[in-house]
Amino acid sequence: MRKAKHGYRELVIPPDENGNYRLDKSCVHVWPRKDYIMVGLPSHGGKFTCNLFLPSEGELSLRTIENKEQILQLFNRDFKTIMPLMPNLVEDYFNHAASEILTVKCDKWNYRDRILLIGDAAHAIVPFFAMGMNVGFEDCTVFDDLMQQYNNDLERVFSILEKRESWKLMQ
């Protein structure tokens, strides 16, 4: 496992006064900037959970934003259109600890017929663009299909999965 150069803090876009989503709930919203990005995912109850991905170190980083003025300056400059939708921005930023992003690199995803890593356990990569769950579901679907095709022979299925081209790309 390796630590990525960026980490993140979780922020929230709460529902409007009627309990409705303030943004289109059928989309993942992405606000890319030069060295960082914010991603908004619809959550239950009309809110969006947003992740602000910033470098862990450097001039503008999770380490250097230390007070209300600095986070407001960043959002006034780089996220001006979304800032009015985040009335608790400062509290959210400082009440949620910064989280690391880890990548996984494995030589093998299986051990005989005993252990098989799938989804992010086998191929957590950066950038991930909110696809981890989809890739994990694909892994499960392929695994299930192979189990049926090879009469539940785990060792053979694990061996086939290890050679799968899409998994090789994750190495």
For residue range 96-129, list pLDDT tens digits in order.
Answer: 999 998 877 777 777 777 888 777 776 666 666 5
Q: What pLDDT was estimated at residue 118?
A: 77
- Looking at the structure, do residues 148 and 71 belong to the same domain, yes or no? no
Q: What pLDDT was estimated at residue 127?
A: 61
- Looking at the structure, do residues 95 and 110 belong to the same domain, yes or no? no
Q: What pLDDT was estimated at residue 171?
A: 43
**Coil/strand/helix, residue 96:** coil
* Residues lower than pLDDT 70 in the chain: 122-131, 164-171
**Coil/strand/helix, residue 113:** coil
Q: What pLDDT was estimated at residue 168?
A: 45
Look at the chain and report how many structural domains it folds into: 2
Q: What are phi and psi of 92, to 5 degrees?
A: -60, -45
Domain stop point among 101, 123, 151: 101
Q: What pLDDT was estimated at residue 102?
A: 81
Which distant-in-sequence residues (6+ apart) come within 8 Å of 33 by Cβ?
78
Q: What's the burial of 19, exposed, middle or buried (CB within 10 Å: 0-12/13-18/19+)?
A: exposed
- Looking at the structure, do residues 130 and 149 belong to the same domain, yes or no? yes
- Looking at the structure, do residues 125 and 142 belong to the same domain, yes or no? yes
Q: What pLDDT was estimated at residue 160?
A: 84
Q: Are the C-beta atoms of residues 167 and 109 closer than 8 Å to each other?
A: yes
- Looking at the structure, do residues 143 and 71 belong to the same domain, yes or no? no
b/e sequence 124-140, b meaning 16+ C-beta within 10 Å: bbeeeeeeeeebbeebe
Q: What pLDDT was estimated at residue 169?
A: 41
Separation CA 43–CA 31 (nearest Å)? 18
**What range defines the domain where residue 110 resides?**
104-168
